[in-house]
């Protein structure tokens, strides 16, 4: 039975979750295939909830900046969808992949069209299309995150971007393969630079919870202007629910019951449409690249508050 149901009770809920996470034996490991992320202590934990009016609560390391990584894919998707609309879906699908996020397996069978915007292949397509329309996809993303979070100091981590570029052969292979099918517009080296810079954005739980608020407000930005129609905001939330946590999306929906998007930096954002947005961070990852403590914390949040999409 839910014991909490209104935004004014978020603070005690967060405090209770943080206490429970503290008592839980540590598990998971930081992402080691990106050397710049490998040194993070997997036991760190922070969690923030942002209400629709921009009020934000947090516990633990909720003000500690971390590498957003694949969480940024939600925002580039929104920015591109706002510009080109449904034409985007001719170049990237909306179905779960059932394969690891950096898999090449399905691309050949499906003529260079990625299954969804959140696996690496799909995110490369979205970044490519946003770059074509703006001339600087990574810069457009950063400007958006600064505006929505209210934090003008958000920045790319050049060390992380360089680390990803030095170990980015799989992403290069994905981009070249899709280019061979005509599904990439820009030169692959240009696209990869934009993509690695996009993923290197450093932000805190507070920043990302606030920046995600437009999805809880059905497409309305923090300043009251509309970025997306209600229908397109729904589309993004739906794809987050079915595809946002790599090949663990079914388990995440079962446990948490919210649209969510994870990143290998240990962060996860989640949306309660019409109520609030959340971001949780803990660098210890499971074998599918999702934060172990982060998923557990979101599971407890929906259990304690009764807030989910089901």
Q: What are the pLDDT digits (tens) for 148-197?
A: 999 999 999 999 999 889 989 999 999 999 999 999 999 999 999 999 99
Identify whether 57 is a catalytic site residue.
Answer: no
Identify whether 229 is a catalytic site residue.
Answer: no
Q: What pLDDT shows up at residue 5? A: 42
Q: What pLDDT shows up at residue 124? A: 98
Catalytic residue among 73, 74, 256, 282: 73
Q: What pLDDT shows up at residue 8? A: 53
Identify whether 264 is a catalytic site residue.
Answer: yes
Q: Which CATH number fits domain 7-305: 3.40.720.10, 3.40.710.10, 2.40.170.20, 3.40.50.1100?
A: 3.40.710.10
Instruction: Return d(Cα 15, Cα 289) in angstroms, integer.
Output: 26
Of the ranges 22-26, 111-115, 124-128, which one carries the lowest mean pLDDT score? 22-26
Per-residue buried b or exposed e for 48-62, using 16+ beta carbons within 10 Å of the residue's own CB: bbbbbeeebbbbbbb
Q: Domain boundaries in the chain?
A: 7-305
Give me the sign of the Cα torsion angle 239, 243, 249, 252: negative
Catalytic residue among 49, 57, 59, 70: 70
Catalytic residue among 13, 57, 163, 246: 246
More confident residue, 275 or 97: 275
Q: What pLDDT shows up at residue 178? A: 97
Instruction: Return d(Cα 235, Cα 94) in angstroms, integer.
Output: 9
3-state SS assignment for residue 79: helix
* 49: β partners: 57, 278
pLDDT tens, position by position, 239-260: 999 999 988 999 999 999 999 9
Instruction: Return d(Cα 198, Cα 179) in angstroms, integer.
Output: 20
Of the ranges 88-102, 193-207, 232-246, 262-276, which one carries the lowest mean pLDDT score? 88-102
Identify whether 282 is a catalytic site residue.
Answer: no
Backbone angles phi, psi at 60, to 5 degrees: 65, -135
Residue 44 pLDDT > 80, yes or no? yes
Q: What is the dihedral of CA 177, 116, 291, 251, to 10 degrees?
A: -130
Tally of residues, the chain: 310
Residue 85 pLDDT > 90, yes or no? yes
Percent of the chain having pLDDT more than 70?
Answer: 95
How high is the mean pLDDT of the chain?
A: 93
Catalytic residue among 264, 271, 272, 295: 264
Instruction: Return d(Cα 257, Cα 297) in angstroms, integer.
Output: 13
Q: What pLDDT shows up at residue 137? A: 98
Catalytic residue among 13, 49, 59, 195: 195
């Amino acid at each position: 039975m839910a014991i909490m149901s209104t935004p004014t009770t978020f603070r005690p809920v967060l405090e209770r979750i943080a206490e429970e996470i503290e008592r839980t034996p540590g598990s998971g490991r930081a992402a080691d295939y990106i050397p710049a992320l490998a040194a993070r202590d997997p036991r760190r934990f922070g969690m923030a909830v942002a209400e629709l009016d921009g009020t934000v609560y947090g516990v633990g390391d909720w003000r500690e900046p971390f590498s957003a990584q694949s969480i940024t894919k939600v925002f580039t998707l929104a920015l591109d969808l706002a510009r080109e609309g449904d034409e985007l879906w001719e170049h990237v699908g909306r179905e779960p992949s059932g394969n690891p996020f950096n898999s090449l397996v399905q691309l050949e069978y499906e003529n260079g069209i990625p299954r969804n915007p959140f696996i690496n292949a799909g995110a490369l397509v979205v970044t490519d299309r946003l770059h074509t329309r703006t001339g600087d996809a990574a810069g457009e993303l950063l400007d958006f995150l600064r505006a929505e979070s209210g934090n003008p100091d958000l920045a790319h981590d050049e060390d992380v971007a360089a680390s990803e570029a030095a170990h980015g052969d799989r992403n290069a292979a994905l981009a070249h393969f899709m280019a061979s099918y005509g599904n990439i517009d820009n030169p692959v080296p240009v696209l990869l630079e934009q993509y690695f810079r996009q993923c290197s954005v450093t932000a805190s739980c507070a920043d990302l919870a606030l920046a995600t608020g437009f999805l809880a407000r059905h497409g309305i930005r923090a300043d009251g202007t509309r970025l997306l129609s209600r229908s397109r905001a729904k589309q993004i939330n739906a794809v987050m629910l079915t595809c946002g946590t790599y090949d663990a999306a079914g388990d995440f929906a079962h446990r948490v019951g919210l649209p969510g998007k994870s990143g290998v930096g240990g962060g996860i954002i989640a949306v309660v449409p019409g109520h609030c947005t959340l971001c949780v961070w803990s660098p210890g990852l499971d074998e599918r690249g999702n934060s172990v403590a982060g998923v557990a914390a979101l599971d407890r949040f929906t259990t304690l508050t009764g807030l989910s999409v089901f």
